[in-house]
Amino acid sequence: MGTSVSHQNHIVAHEIGHLVCGHPAQSLLDDIDLQLFLPAINPRLIRHMLARAGYDETAEREAEIFASLVTRRASTSRWTPPSDAPPLKRIARSLAARRT
């Protein structure tokens, strides 16, 4: 891909920022198309989780700030998770460690 690991981490944090901030996104598919692809799942849920595209300037700025804060905090943290722990457990441990 040619993108550094730190840049990849920033991109992931930026996208998580959109979710955390609850930014509404424009859907690429309408409800009829979503029902055809995944009839057992509510189209609103699919749209919210998968069809995110196009945010306004304010939402992009907020997600970028979120990503910058998260990646800065992660880079200055002395705590490192064990490499063999599943990702969700590492995230849970990290969040628990931040509360104390």
pLDDT digits (tens, 9 = 90+) for 59-100: 889 999 999 999 888 877 666 656 666 777 767 777 776 555
Q: Where are the domains of the chain?
A: 5-99
CA dist 20 and 14 (Å) reads 10
- Do 89 and 64 touch, CB atoms closer than 8 A? no
The overall average pLDDT reported for the chain is 76
b/e map 64-94, b = 16+ CB within 10 Å: eebbeebbeeeeeeeeeeeeeeeeeeeeeee
pTM of the model: 0.53
The tally of CA atoms less than 13 A away on the side-chain side of residue 90 is 10
What whole-number distance in Å separates Cα of residue 38 and Cα of residue 36? 6
